[in-house]
């Protein structure tokens, strides 16, 4: 694979030995339970130098074959010194999927978490300002969930009409 | 008691309820708002105490659409993501798909992808700087930038037939090889372009108005840049020496000799300088790539089982026709592993990555795009606090927010 | 006698309509409602190579109060539609609306939950420009066509806008 980087991280430190970890195409991923998430992220940031939160997103596994959980959060970390990457996964389930917010660790998580809330309906406990970011306030669904249809539920037609006479 | 214009913003932010503070709505339809951004500013006189961005005025469901289109079709939608540099998005998308599939494209394809990605970096920076000049009152600069962009549009048209919606890449290759005409046009452009850059630099570098309006405005420190997840020229202008082309070499970037352009000051002027320098580096890269362009096919052979066959093969041979239908029929298509992968490229605006989840079928189960504009716009309130209303446009221009990439 | 009594009315009205339409069509002031990729082509049309000034439509005004042609360039999503409607209402009569590109005309490739499937469902549209994005030449052609339309139908008091067909949005809000 010369197309894309393959920065494998060295062995994880001992305190994470119990975490599930896997590798695909040179990318290391670890799975963290929700209650240990912040602790692990904090160690990664402060002790292991993963100082950049490159991305934060979510996947809805509702229709995925053999999936055990409904949602999977993806924290995409990078180390700006060594250019290693690490993907931290955290799985959640209905109802009321909630995880603690990462904003105290990275200010950049603010909008990323708002986006996940907006599109997937996952709550981030302790987030300073958890409002919708892309969709209008008052939108009823979370559109990137798999049970929401691509064409929507008619929201896009539900607007007032202006004719020449009124305009 | 009104505050003195020089009082630091940190104190001001504390008492936001003072009656002399007022709120101003900026956008979403405003010439300096780069299409559809909206800001709600809290002002003391003309000092900005706080800014609350409101986005989503162009949220068109790109990521949902990716779950309903196959890996080759979706490239047409990525054109519309950062519409100022569509080719860079095409390349980013198919790099991610190929990483998921675990295939490597031929050398020639990689070189051509580098060429088009760097050319589109130039178009992007030209528009960013042109618009930044325009917003700070330098209209002539914009005209220079735009006329160079028109030349590049001609080149893109010669390469792939469209000015803006290019859809140039395919899984495992490209739609078309570079024609000799296109190569010649690129060579001519490379010869002329440094001159244009010089002209543009002469117009703004020492322009008192421009320098006064950008130097020391919207300063982003290195720590904040990392903490706010910034990437690309915005981070590099603050001293973060991170460039994925060098740090995680993808495509053929390892073969070329180029510098990573950085600055330490982190203000609007530094971001302007970094973009200017990056265009020079891009010219260097394209020059090297053109001179050393390897011969050979641009597409992987169809033994890879996920590559669309050449159109001539489709029309003249039965195997080609069968392979074609195997790949484009809605219940067949490319077989991908049931895995997840993140692949990032250094797009003009910063790290443009795709997080792909494959479920074995022909369409992505989830295709998350990591949009640099979204992350940079989130940093905007941090940059503008304590500056004046007129600085809003300078800071916005220097961040180069593209609404379609911001909202997707 | 009868002829003289009728003629001045007749002649004067026709000519005034034409004169006014002629003035209007050659000084269209566009309001660039540019939201997405088409907006970039709209900028190209205004920039040096294609120079829309040759057709008297170069005075891009960002204040709707000063404009008489709204060019909607790009997709409009449900969060943006109320903004577009307000801007349309703020423009003084007579005014025209142009849907530039596939998205503004019909939703284009974005048949998704948030994109309005054609702005003509919610505001009146006089001219559609096909393409994704339309080339600058095509936009210029659309402006020339709109000028012809104004010359052909325009009246001093804007009676052409009173026709019943102009009163309705082009497509009813039927949706499967
Ligand atoms: S019609 Fe095409 S170019 Fe225009 S806004 Fe829509 S997607 Fe973009």
Query: Which residue CA neighbors atom 6 of ligand 1 most closely?
Result: C103
- Element at A53 (helix H, strand E): strand A52-60
pLDDT, mean of residues A59-87: 86
What residue numbers bound the domain in which C125 lies? 28-154
Residue B22, domain member (yes or no): yes
Listed by start position, the domains of chain A span: 7-158
- Cβ-defined contact of B59 to C87 (cutoff 8 Å): no
Same domain for B331 and B354, yes or no, is yes
Which of B80, B82, B84, B163 should be mutated for ligand 1, with most atoms under 8 A from CB? B80
3-state secondary structure of B191: helix
Same domain for B278 and B362, yes or no, is yes
What pLDDT, in 10s, does the model give residues A136-161? 888 888 888 888 888 878 777 777 78
Return the pLDDT at C10: 57
For chains B and C, CB pairs below 8 A equal: 89
Residue of chain C with shortest Cα separation from A160:
C122
Q: Which member of A143, A162, A165 has the closest CB to residue C123?
A: A162
| CATH number of domain containing B324 | 1.10.645.10
Residue B225, domain member (yes or no): yes
In this structure, what token pair is assigned to residue A31? 């799975």
Residue A126 has pLDDT above 60, yes or no: yes
Return the pLDDT at B122: 92
- Cβ-defined contact of B29 to C33 (cutoff 8 Å): yes
What sign for the dihedral angle of Cα C119, C125, C130, C134? negative
Query: Which residue CA neighbors atom 8 of ligand 1 most closely?
Result: C37
Mean pLDDT by 10 residues, chain B (408 residues): 44 60 79 74 84 86 87 87 88 89 87 91 90 83 86 89 86 85 90 89 86 86 88 89 85 86 87 90 90 84 71 82 79 81 89 88 87 88 86 86 84
Same domain for B80 and B106, yes or no, is yes
The burial of A47, by beta-carbon neighbours within 10 Å (0-12 exposed, 13-18 middle, 19 or more buried), is given as exposed
In this structure, what token pair is assigned to residue B230? 């910034």
Closest Cα of chain B to A167: distance in Å? 19
Residues in contact with ligand 1 by the CB-under-6-Å rule are B 80, 165; C 36-38, 74-75, 101-103, 108-109, 132-133
Closest Cα of chain B to A14: distance in Å? 26
Residue B155, domain member (yes or no): yes
In this structure, what token pair is assigned to residue C109? 């490739």
Q: What distance in angstroms lies between residue A35's CA and the mean position of ligand 1's atoms?
A: 45
Do C12 and C6 contact (CB within 8 A), yes or no? no
Do A166 and C88 contact (CB within 8 A), yes or no? no
What residue numbers bound the domain in which B254 lies? 62-406
| Lookup result for tokens 């990457």 | A85
Q: How many domains does chain C have?
A: 1
Q: What distance in angstroms lies between residue B65's CA and the mean position of ligand 1's atoms?
A: 15
| CATH number of domain containing C53 | 3.40.50.12280
Angle, alpha carbons A141-A144-A146 (nearest 5°): 95
Q: Which member of A143, A159, A165 has the closest CB to residue C81?
A: A159
Residue to test with chain B: of A88, A112, A134, most B Cβ within 10 A: A134
pTM of the complete model: 0.86
d(CA C46, CA A64): 49
Cα–Cα nearest to B97, from B365, B397, B379:
B365
Query: Which residue CA neighbors atom 2 of ligand 1 most closely?
Result: C132
- Cβ-defined contact of A167 to C123 (cutoff 8 Å): yes
Q: Which atom of ligand 1 is nearest to the CA of C38?
A: 4
Closest Cα of chain B to A51: distance in Å? 7
Residue B1, domain member (yes or no): no
Closest Cα of chain C to B361: distance in Å? 21
Residue of chain B with shortest Cα separation from A56:
B370
The DSSP code for B114 is H
Do B218 and B358 contact (CB within 8 A), yes or no? no
Cα–Cα nearest to B85, from B28, B33, B36, B149:
B149
- Parallel, antiparallel, or unpaired for β C30-34 and C69-73? parallel
pLDDT, mean of residues A39-56: 85
Return the pLDDT at C13: 54
What sign for the dihedral angle of Cα B372, B375, B379, B380? positive
Do B377 and B401 contact (CB within 8 A), yes or no? yes
CATH topology for A7-158? Beta Polymerase; domain 2 (3.30.460)
Mean of pLDDT over chain C: 79
Residue C121, domain member (yes or no): yes
The DSSP code for A34 is G
Q: How many domains does chain B have?
A: 2
ipTM: 0.85
Q: What distance in angstroms lies between residue C131's CA and the mean position of ligand 1's atoms?
A: 8
Q: Which member of B30, B59, B163 has the closest CB to residue C62?
A: B30
In this structure, what token pair is assigned to residue B246? 């060098």
- Cβ-defined contact of C114 to A163 (cutoff 8 Å): no
Predicted confidence pLDDT, tens digits, chain C (176 residues) = 444 555 555 555 556 778 888 888 888 888 888 888 888 888 888 777 888 888 877 777 778 888 888 889 888 888 888 888 888 888 888 888 899 988 888 888 888 888 888 888 888 888 888 888 888 888 888 888 888 888 887 777 777 777 666 655 555 444 44
Contacts of residue A89, defined as CB under 8 A and 6 or more positions apart, other chains included, come to: A29, A30, A31, A32, A72, A73, A74, A75
3-state secondary structure of A89: strand
Give the CA dihedral B27, B28, B31, B33, nearest 10 degrees: 80
């Amino acid at each position: 694979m010369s197309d894309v980087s393959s920065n494998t991280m060295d062995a994880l430190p001992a305190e994470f030995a119990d975490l599930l970890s896997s590798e695909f195409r040179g990318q290391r991923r670890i799975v963290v339970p929700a209650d240990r998430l912040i602790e692990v992220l904090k160690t990664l940031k402060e002790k292991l130098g993963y100082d950049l939160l490159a991305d934060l997103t979510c996947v809805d596994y509702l229709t995925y074959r053999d999936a055990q959980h409904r949602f999977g959060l993806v924290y995409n970390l990078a180390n700006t010194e060594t250019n290693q990457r690490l993907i931290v996964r955290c799985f959640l389930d209905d109802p009321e999927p909630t995880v603690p917010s990462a904003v105290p660790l990275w200010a950049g998580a603010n909008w990323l978490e708002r986006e996940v809330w907006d599109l997937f309906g996952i709550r981030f406990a302790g987030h300073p300002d958890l409002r919708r970011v892309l969709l209008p306030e008052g939108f009823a669904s979370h559109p990137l969930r798999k049970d929401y249809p691509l064409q929507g539920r008619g929201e896009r037609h539900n607007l007032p009409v202006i004719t020449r006479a009124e305009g | 008691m009104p505050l003195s214009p020089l009082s630091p913003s940190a104190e001001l932010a504390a008492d936001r309820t003072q009656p002399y503070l007022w709120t101003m709505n900026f956008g979403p339809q405003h010439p300096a708002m780069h299409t559809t951004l909206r800001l709600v500013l809290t002002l003391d006189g003309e000092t900005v105490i706080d800014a609350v961005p409101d986005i989503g005025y162009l949220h068109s469901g790109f990521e949902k659409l990716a779950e309903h289109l196959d890996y080759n079709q979706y490239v047409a939608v990525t054109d519309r993501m950062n519409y100022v540099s569509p080719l860079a998005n095409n390349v980013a998308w198919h790099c991610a798909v190929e990483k998921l599939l675990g295939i490597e494209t031929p050398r020639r394809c990689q070189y051509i992808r580098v060429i088009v990605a760097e050319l589109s970096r130039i178009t992007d920076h030209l528009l960013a700087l042109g618009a930044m000049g325009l917003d700070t009152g330098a209209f002539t600069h914009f005209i220079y930038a735009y006329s160079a962009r028109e030349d590049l549009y001609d080149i893109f048209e010669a390469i792939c037939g469209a000015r803006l919606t290019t859809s140039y890449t395919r899984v495992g290759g490209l739609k078309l090889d570079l024609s000799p005409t296109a190569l010649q046009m690129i060579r001519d452009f490379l010869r002329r372009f440094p001159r244009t850059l010089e002209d543009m630099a002469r117009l703004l570098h020492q322009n008192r108005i421009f320098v006064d309006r950008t130097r020391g405005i919207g300063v982003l420190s290195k720590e904040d840049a990392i903490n706010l997840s910034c990437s690309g020229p915005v981070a590099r202008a603050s001293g973060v020496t991170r460039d994925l082309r060098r740090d995680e070499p993808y495509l053929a970037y390892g073969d070329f000799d180029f510098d990573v352009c950085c600055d330490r000051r982190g203000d609007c002027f530094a971001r302007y300088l970094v973009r200017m320098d990056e265009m020079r580096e891009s010219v260097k890269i394209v020059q090297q790539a053109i001179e050393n362009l390897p011969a050979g096919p641009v597409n992987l052979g169809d033994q890879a089982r996920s590559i669309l066959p050449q159109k001539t093969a489709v029309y003249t041979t039965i195997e080609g026709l069968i392979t074609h239908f195997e790949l484009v029929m809605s219940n067949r298509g490319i077989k991908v592993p049931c895995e997840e992968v993140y692949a990032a490229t250094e797009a003009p605006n910063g790290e443009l990555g795709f997080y792909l989840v494959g479920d074995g079928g022909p369409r992505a189960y989830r295709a998350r795009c990591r949009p640099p504009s979204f992350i940079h716009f989130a940093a905007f309130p941090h940059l503008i606090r304590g500056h004046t209303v007129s600085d809003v446009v300078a800071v916005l221009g220097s961040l180069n927010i593209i609404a379609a990439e911001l909202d997707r | 006698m009868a002829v003289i009594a009728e003629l001045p009315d007749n002649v004067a009205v026709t000519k005034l309509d034409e004169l006014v339409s002629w003035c209007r069509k050659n000084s269209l002031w566009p309001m660039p409602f540019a939201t997405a990729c088409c907006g970039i082509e709209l900028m190209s049309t205004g920039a040096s190579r294609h120079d829309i000034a040759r057709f008297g439509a170069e005075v891009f005004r960002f204040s709707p109060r000063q404009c008489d042609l709204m060019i909607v360039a790009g997709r409009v999503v449900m969060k943006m539609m109320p903004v577009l409607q307000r801007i349309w209402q703020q423009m003084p009569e007579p005014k025209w609306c142009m849907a530039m590109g596939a998205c503004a005309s019909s939703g284009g490739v974005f048949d998704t939950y948030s994109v309005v499937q054609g702005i003509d469902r919610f505001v009146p549209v006089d001219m559609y420009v096909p393409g994704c994005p339309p080339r600058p030449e095509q936009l210029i052609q659309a402006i020339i066509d709109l000028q012809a339309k104004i010359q052909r139908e325009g009246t001093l008091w804007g009676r052409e806008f009173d026709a019943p067909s102009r009163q309705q949005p082009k497509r009813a809000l039927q949706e499967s």
